[in-house]
Structure 1
Amino acid sequence: MRNNLLSRCKCTWFCLVVLLCNPATALSTENLDSLTLKRALALTLAHNPQLFQYRFTTEALTAQKQSNSLRPALALELEVENFAGSKGYEGFDSAETTLALSSVIELGGKRQARLSYADARLNQAKWEQQAETLDVLGKLAELYIEGLATQANIQLAEESLVLSQSLLKTVKTRSARGATPEAEVMRAQAALTQAEIRLAALQAKFERQQILLARFWGETSVSFDVLEGSLFNFGATTSFEQLYARVQKSPAIQVLASEARIRDAQITLARANGSSDLSWRVGIKRLEETGDSAFVAGLSIPLFSGKRNSGEVETALAQRNAVDYAKKDQLLQLHARLFESWSLRKQSIAAVNLTQKSAIPALEKALKLTTEGFENGRYRYLDLIAAQKELLASKQSLIDAATTALVSQAVIEKLTSEALNP
């Protein structure tokens, strides 16, 4: 079962792996140990301690099923009467010894009801394992995407640092010629320091994310320096109606469906327990006084056991009805969450496309013209700073929108348990 689950989960995340590991747009990893999302998923499925817990849950439920399949045990009875008394019953001369076998005949289909209940619990454990696996892989994918975003932000911070260094150099040159006040040199120096601080903070953030990623496969140290992948490949967009149809068959809903089957089995078991069982006893009695032997047999059945069990039946029925409403509530929550992720992904992809095609090219040209004008004395220092900030802010928005699109896609795939079409 674990191998089937492994294959299914790999297929679920295949689309996102392809998008993030596109070799045409992947980050350069020369001379560095790199990690791919595909590798991270495989390591998590193979070594994540949280996922292995379900193996023991299944083993426990299987053992319980074996116990539930047993028929009532046989009992061997030895009974001695009329001994060690007074007068004629002194000693064992008048003793009556009975050797008997006894057991119970279960009525009402109790054994089958127990087996059905055990099967329902095993089925629920299977769906819970799949749901938990998807949840873990979803968290891993989200963290991986955030790590890619941090790498992109590091590259942006390095670009900002280069711009700050270039600006400081230009301002110093102009100040030496008397074309720029000394105060602007100090401001440019402060901007350079802030750029260095931001770069250091992002590098430290990425180190923390590396540790968090390694935790998913049970490691406390990091064996990779770079995450491979691109933030800017999204694949095709699937309609919300199609996605919601998938959600209704997802493991999260199947867990509740299996819960309903468990409650049905509990109702059947409670009703079966309301049927009286027959207790039987057969044996042989020996009378020491006469030396004779005789067979003995007995049969007993409890009275009014059905009424005594009516409370358990009503309890099971109430719990079963509660599952139906829990399923409706879960579907409403999944609908809302799915629509939010679908809408965010669609909106973010549109923002990425517009930013790449229009905003960034325009701002890059504006910065180039402003830089040339500043060097020729046509623009002020503040004009150049504003042009740089606008370009960097636009690139930051591009990274943020792409990150939101991919994280939303990861959430969609986790909810539907299926990959979006690339």
Structure 2
Amino acid sequence: MPMLLGRPLRAVWLGVAILVCASPLAMAQTREVAPSYQSLLARLEQMPAAIEAAALSEAADARAQQARAIANPSLSWETENIQGSGPYRGFGNAETTVSVTQPLELFGQRSARIGAARADALATGLRSEQMRWRAAGRLAQAYSDAEAASRRYDLAAEALALSEQDARAVALLVEAGREATLRGIQARSETDAARAQLEEARAVRDAAFARLSAIAMLDAPVETLGASLLDTAPASHALDASDPLAVRIAQAEVDAAGQRLTVEQRRARPDLSASMGMRRFRETGDDAFTIGLSVSVPLFDRNRGGVRAAYADQRAAEARLTAQQQEARADRLAAEATLSASMARVRAADSGVGAAEEAYRMARVGFDAGRLSQLELRSTRASLISARNAAVEARLARVRAEIDLAGLEGRAPFGESR
């Protein structure tokens, strides 16, 4: 019996590799492979969120351009002294006037309108930029989630293969009378649990790939990844002395609120219009020019409510700016610390995987030689699978930390600085 159980360790691991990899290799040619994250990032402008951001920015620029338009003139036609009595009977003494009236946007009304539209366009442009980077962050998150789910599935398949292999070894020991029947039952129960975990991991993997296909706007659902993002270490970026994107957005909103306040203040001023026309005297056949000015009198409506509302909006925008300035530095420091800690966590997890692999190798040798029990082998196997899962979680945490930092800095995760 020791000859049966004393298989070379190399052959054991070869068997595990065949069990884990045979099915994926057989299906590799039929699986749809997703482009790399960098390839998908290059197509960011084609994704709905980026298209929406560009459209919003374009609309704001168009409104700013429209704000420069001069008000249209109005054309009027008027006939006087007709269909009356005495000499004004009929149309004999009619006076016909054709005039053109042009509103005059004086008192700074036009400049205030243009300034407000420009400020709104700037704020909208910055918000659109933020939408693009958030879309890039969602893409990176979906890609890393899909890769992590795929790795967890592979680990579950490996755990099942190791559990089945250990169960076979325990069955031989039970047949030889070296282990109790209970140990064989426990081994089969562990195998069944590992098989259920594999099915659960497959469902999670398929859902993650479906979400990636939807977010990346891929033509066909993907089933595997061609390049790794979890193994990509974030590039170091020089500290940008300019304000973070969120602070710049808040500042632009303050400026826009100030411009809207100016518009409301100017709206309370009189509206002035100039007119010029020609009058025709039908009785004598003479012509004469007419000129005129009209001005509104702000007697009842002085737009006081609109001005107060604009003041309140400006104070609210200033409060948001103050809060954003206070939070920006703390958020940046926290994101950098989280990223640094996650990178250290990856290194520690990789070291733990190496130690767990060596422990399982030694436990397997000791079990085959009859020096260790099934419980000790099971414990080292569980530690190995746990260590590998911890390595996946550490890499996923590193990706999330990079996404958070990139969002604060205003750039794409694992991409170039702005």
TM-score, normalized by length of structure 2?
A: 0.83
What are the ranges of 5 or more consecutive residues in structure 2 without an aligned counterpart? 1-24
Question: d(CA) in 2 for partners of 1:148 and 1:37?
Answer: 11
Q: Structure 1 residues 37 and 344, CA, compared in 2 at 3 Å: closer, same or farther?
A: same
Residue 300 (structure 1) aligned with residue 294 (structure 2): yes
User: Are the aligned partners of 1:238 and 1:420 in contact in 2 as well (CA < 8 Å)?
Assistant: no
Residue 374 (structure 1) aligned with residue 373 (structure 2): no
Per the alignment, residue 363 of structure 1 pairs with: 356
Per the alignment, residue 408 of structure 1 pairs with: 401
**Could you tell me how far 1:192 is from its partner in structure 2?**
1.4
Q: Structure 1 residues 407 and 388, CA, compared in 2 at 3 Å: closer, same or farther?
A: same
**Could you tell me how far 1:66 is from its partner in structure 2?**
4.2
Give percent identity, aligned residues only: 23
Q: How much is the aligned-residue C-alpha RMSD, in angstroms?
A: 3.0
Question: d(CA) in 2 for partners of 1:183 and 1:393?
Answer: 25
Per the alignment, residue 312 of structure 1 pairs with: 306
Residue 353 (structure 1) aligned with residue 352 (structure 2): no
State the Cα deviation string for residues 204-241 of structure 1 (Å, max 9, x = none): 212211111111233473145224115345357679xx
User: Are the aligned partners of 2:144 and 2:229 in contact in 1 as well (CA < 8 Å)?
Assistant: no
User: Are the aligned partners of 2:53 and 2:129 in contact in 1 as well (CA < 8 Å)?
Assistant: no
Question: d(CA) in 1 for partners of 2:40 and 2:97?
Answer: 71
Aligned length: 389
Q: Structure 1 residues 365 and 249, CA, compared in 2 at 3 Å: closer, same or farther?
A: closer
Q: Structure 1 residues 227 and 338, CA, compared in 2 at 3 Å: closer, same or farther?
A: farther
Residue 272 (structure 1) aligned with residue 266 (structure 2): yes
Give, as a single letter, the amino acid of the residue that structure 1 aligns with 2:315.
N
Question: d(CA) in 2 for partners of 1:346 and 1:60?
Answer: 40
Per the alignment, residue 5 of structure 1 pairs with: none
Secondary structure in 1 aligned to 2:101? strand
Question: d(CA) in 2 for partners of 1:38 and 1:329?
Answer: 35
User: Are the aligned partners of 1:147 and 1:227 in contact in 2 as well (CA < 8 Å)?
Assistant: no
Deviates more, 1:54-63 or 1:169-178: 54-63
Per the alignment, residue 105 of structure 1 pairs with: 104
Q: Structure 1 residues 46 and 57, CA, compared in 2 at 3 Å: closer, same or farther?
A: closer
TM-score, normalized by length of structure 1?
A: 0.82
Matches within 5 A, 1:76-95: 76-95=75-94
Matches within 5 A, 1:4-403: 33-43=33-43, 45-219=44-218, 221-223=220-222, 225-229=224-228, 231-235=230-234, 242=239, 248-250=243-245, 252-304=246-298, 308-335=302-329, 337-357=331-351, 359-403=352-396
Question: d(CA) in 1 for partners of 2:409 and 2:66?
Answer: 37
Q: Structure 1 residues 294 and 376, CA, compared in 2 at 3 Å: closer, same or farther?
A: closer
Q: Structure 1 residues 236 and 189, CA, compared in 2 at 3 Å: closer, same or farther?
A: same
User: Are the aligned partners of 2:247 and 2:324 in contact in 1 as well (CA < 8 Å)?
Assistant: yes
Question: d(CA) in 1 for partners of 2:338 and 2:392?
Answer: 14
Per the alignment, residue 9 of structure 1 pairs with: none
What are the ranges of 5 or more consecutive residues in structure 1 without an aligned counterpart? 1-27
State the Cα deviation string for residues 375-415 of structure 1 (Å, max 9, x = none): 33332221221121122222222221221122111211122
**Could you tell me how far 1:292 is from its partner in structure 2?**
4.0
Deviates more, 1:371-380 or 1:317-326: 371-380
User: Are the aligned partners of 1:274 and 1:305 in contact in 2 as well (CA < 8 Å)?
Assistant: no
User: Are the aligned partners of 1:276 and 1:305 in contact in 2 as well (CA < 8 Å)?
Assistant: no
